[in-house]
Structure formats: C-alpha cells, structure tokens
Amino acid sequence: MQTQTKIELSKKEHKPLQVNPIKHSQPMGAALAFMGIKNCLPLMHASQGCASYTKVFYTRHFNEPIAMYNTSVSDITAVLDGGDYSILMAIENITQKNKTLLPELIGLHTTGLTETKGDDVRSVGMHIEIPYCYVNTPDYEGGMESGWALTAKALIAQHTKPSAQTKASKILLLPHVSMQPIEVEKIKELCESFGCTTLALPDLSTSLDGYLSEGQGKLGTGAISIEDIVGLGDCEYVITIGASMNIAAKALLEKNAAIKHAHFNHLMGQEANDNFVALLMQIRQTQPNALTKRWRGRLQDAMLDSHFLIGSSHFVITGEPDMCVGMCELIQSVGGSVDAVIATNYSTVLESINAANVFVGDLEDAVKYFAKADLVISNFHAEQLLHMQEKHTALMLRGFPNYEELGNQLKNDQLYEGSTYFLFEVANALRVVKHEKH
C-alpha cells in the first residue's frame, strides 16, 4: 500500500482541493434547519442552482418532497441589486402564485454568491410583513453542521423575547444536524416521559419523517412554531446535543441568564445516556420509567453480545464532527479500534476524539485507511470506492447523503435504545465480511 504521511488535525487544509468530497455546504444546513420549523418558507438567497441542488439532495436522501425556494439571482441582479429586489420579488411571486400558501416565517439564508456581493439581508426584513429570519451562510465557510447551528442561533437571537422568569421543567433541546427525524422524536419522548415540557430547535420530527400526507413539500412542517420560538425565553433548561449547537444555547442565555445550560457531545452509548438520564432525574426529582431502565439493560446486553466481534475489528468513520464523535465513543466502549476519523470540517470536539488518525479531509484521504478496516461508516459515496478495492470491507451508511437506502429518516442511533440497534447493525455487518475469510 501507499506509504502514509500522517495528516494532523488542523483548521488549515492539507491540500489545495477536495477529491470525492464529504463536506456539505452551510446553506444546505440552513435550508434543512428551516424545514424543521412549522409553516416556514425556506428561501435561499442564491442563483437557482444552489437551491435546485439542495432540493434534489434532500429529496433523494429522505425520499420526500422538499420545501425549498430561491431568489434566482441573475447576472443583472448580481451586480445591480442589493438583495432587496430579488428577495422581495421572490416572496411576492411565491405567495401571489399560491394564495393558499400561508407561511408563518420566511427563513432566508445567503450563499457564497450573495455574501460575495455583500447583500444587506438584515434590512430587507423591514419591508416584509411575515415574520422574517435571516442567516448569513456563505458556502466558502464552515459546513452543513455550522449552517444548521447558525440558523438555530439566528432564530433565537432574532425572535425569542427576553425574559427574567423560567418555567419549571420546560426544556429546549438543540440537536445537531446529523440527527434524523426519528432521533429527535425519541429524545423528546424521553424528556416528556420524565414530565418535562419539551421543545426542540430545529425540530424535524414531524417534517421529514416519511409521513404520507397531502400537499407536502410546500412549507416546512417542523414541530416547533415561530410562536414557540418567541416564547423560549422562559425555559428552565437548554440542552445542547452536539458541540456545534453551543452557539445557539449561548444566544438563548443572552435572552435570560437564569436559564441553565447542559451540554452533551452526543447521546450514543451507556456513559452519555447515563449522564443524560441523571440530568433529567435531577430536573424532575423522579425515577425514569420502567421502559427506559429496561432499555439500559438491553444496551448492556448488546454491548456484551457484540463486544467480541467489534472488539477485534478496525473502523473508519467519516462525516460531520458531532456525528463522528458519538459513533467513535460507542464503538470504542465495546473495544473497537477506530483507525481513522475523517471529518467534514474542523470542530473543537474533534480534539477530544481518541483515535489513531483524526483530521479534516475527503474520501480520497479516507480511502487510504479503507483497506485495513473491517467496517467503514460513511455516506453513500464510499460505496463505489469500496467496490474498487480487493479486500471486502463492510459499509454502514450514515450521514448525508444516502441516496440508495430507504428509511433514513427512521434510523435511530441515539439513547439506550438507538445505541443498542446501532451495535447490532455494526456487528451484523462485520459478521458478513469476517465470515468470508474462512
């Protein structure tokens, strides 16, 4: 094999280009976040291709119609317009064309093009009657994870009313971008089982959850409304899941310093979930329900059942930092050797990963570690690369995009329950490749 020079974890890129990229852009994260708000009209301030690509990307990942609009910046507006013309025209055209469309929020986010030309998207809001939220998300900075987090932050900073009071047991969850709709739902459900009034921002649990209904794909159908966001100032707790979401929690604390903030890098595996459940016990001064306790036992059993296979195997994980860190720790908790974590973007949470190689890169970098691995956890692009190598390495599809498999929105890797399923899926995938050796 090729001799490898170790790539260090750094904010700086280690080569001038990306070959077979895994990184996705900030505007795409912002678009997804707005889809997680009830009756939100996600509006991308861009040339038409940015929105069209994003729409196709999510349509194929979720197998759902996607609510996505754009301002269609042209060569003329790119030069002459300061943003107001194309944004206001877009809103007018959309609402005039379809009178039954009644958005409760315009979710506007920028792109590389409109940031380069320097549009003042903030002041445009003064001319819009519908509640309006703007986010600056150039795609030459950050990535999907930060675009999503910046949107949550902007929604709070621009819309939440300051407050001095808190409502006991009212919780705001801030989930990171890689969590699928069912995962958000399960975490909310657990909090509610303790008796907490629980909101999530963004909340995709009723948006891209693969639910058959009429008239889909016109507006976001997330479970949190703009009214809910306005009233977030009286939460007792804000709980961030994923390091990227800390900026949004900070914005909420600025609205009310009395809100308590608890942070979890992820909710995968026994340790993280013990801490999470302990927090909920403390908030409500009560025991978890019987089913939650039961699931902890099942997870422990799964850990023991799978430890032999996983403990003797080598792994490569690629994806958004907040997703990688959880998977890595869960696999390591049952003895798996994580050879490399290749992340889409730099995040401080990557510094906490204890693996042989942790760096920001692409699939060209990752593929160098594939040949020694028993299982690769990556997006669908890894599939054709693994087909090209002689050794049979298993693949578990996680992260965006997964164009090939169905039911992505209902894959749950979180909490005691999801972690249990995750370990079984890993072990079963390993069984297939490891048995072939004999």
Query: Of 36, 107, 143, 222, which one interacts with other proteins (CB under 8 A)?
Result: 143
Region 176-215 residues binding other proteins, contact defined as CB under 8 A: 212, 214-215
Binding segment (CB under 8 A) for other proteins, from list 16-24, 252-260, 275-283, 418-426: 16-24
Query: Of 14, 21, 195, 271, which one interacts with other proteins (CB under 8 A)?
Result: 21
Give min distance, CB of 73 to other proteins, in A. 5
Give min distance, CB of 402 to other proteins, in A. 12
Binding segment (CB under 8 A) for other proteins, from list 53-61, 239-247, 278-286, 321-329: 53-61
Q: Which residues contact 49 (CB under 8 A, 6 or more apart)?
A: none
Q: Which residues contact 304 (CB under 8 A, 6 or more apart)?
A: none
Site string for other proteins, 30-49 (x = CB under 8 A): -------------x--xxxx
Residue 1 interacts with other proteins (CB under 8 A): yes or no: no
CB-CB contact of 426 with 333 (8 Å): no
Binding segment (CB under 8 A) for other proteins, from list 251-259, 265-273, 281-289, 376-384: 376-384
Which C-beta is closer to other proteins: that of 9 or that of 230? 9
Query: Of 60, 261, 298, 314, which one interacts with other proteins (CB under 8 A)?
Result: 60
Q: What are phi and psi of 302, to 5 degrees?
A: -65, -40
Give min distance, CB of 84 to other proteins, in A. 11
Query: Of 39, 70, 207, 412, which one interacts with other proteins (CB under 8 A)?
Result: 70
Give min distance, CB of 24 to other proteins, in A. 5
Instruction: Return the sign of the alpha-carbon dihedral for residues 154, 159, 164, 170.
Output: negative
User: Long-range contact list for 231-234, CB < 8 A, 24+ apart?
Assistant: 231/160, 231/161, 232/156, 232/160, 232/172, 232/199, 232/201, 233/160, 233/161, 233/162, 233/163, 233/259, 234/163, 234/165, 234/166, 234/167, 234/170
User: Long-range contact list for 295-299, CB < 8 A, 24+ apart?
Assistant: 295/415, 295/416, 295/417, 295/420, 296/270, 296/416, 298/416, 298/417, 298/420, 299/269, 299/270, 299/273, 299/416, 299/417, 299/419, 299/420, 299/423
Query: Of 123, 312, 384, 428, which one interacts with other proteins (CB under 8 A)?
Result: 384
Residue 56 interacts with other proteins (CB under 8 A): yes or no: yes
Q: What are phi and psi of 65, to 5 degrees?
A: -65, 140
Q: Which residues contact 45 (CB under 8 A, 6 or more apart)?
A: 70, 71, 73, 83, 86, 87, 108, 109, 110, 111, 114, 119, 121
Which C-beta is closer to other proteins: that of 68 or that of 249? 68
Return the H-helix or E-strand segment holding 226. helix 226-230
Which C-beta is closer to other proteins: that of 305 or that of 383? 383
Residue 18 interacts with other proteins (CB under 8 A): yes or no: yes
Residue 139 interacts with other proteins (CB under 8 A): yes or no: yes
Which C-beta is closer to other proteins: that of 17 or that of 290? 17
User: Could you tell me how far CA 404 lies from the centroid of its own chain?
Assistant: 19
Question: How many residues touch other proteins (CB under 8 A)?
Answer: 69
* Spatial separation of the C-alpha atoms in residues 38 and 227, rounded to whole Å: 10
Q: Which two structure tokens, joined as six digits, stand for 237?
A: 């707790």
197-200 vs 170-175, strand pairing mode: parallel
Residue 246 interacts with other proteins (CB under 8 A): yes or no: no
Which C-beta is closer to other proteins: that of 190 or that of 343? 343
CB-CB contact of 235 with 172 (8 Å): yes
Beta bridge partners of 175: 241
Q: Which two structure tokens, joined as six digits, stand for 44?
A: 């991308």
Residue 78 interacts with other proteins (CB under 8 A): yes or no: yes
Residue 270 interacts with other proteins (CB under 8 A): yes or no: no
Region 104-123 residues binding other proteins, contact defined as CB under 8 A: 111-113, 116-117
Give min distance, CB of 47 to other proteins, in A. 4
Give min distance, CB of 17 to other proteins, in A. 4
Q: Which residues bind other proteins (CB under 8 A)?
A: 13, 15-21, 23-28, 43, 46-54, 56-57, 59-60, 65, 69-78, 85-87, 89-94, 97, 111-113, 116-117, 138-141, 143, 212, 214-217, 380-381, 384, 401, 403
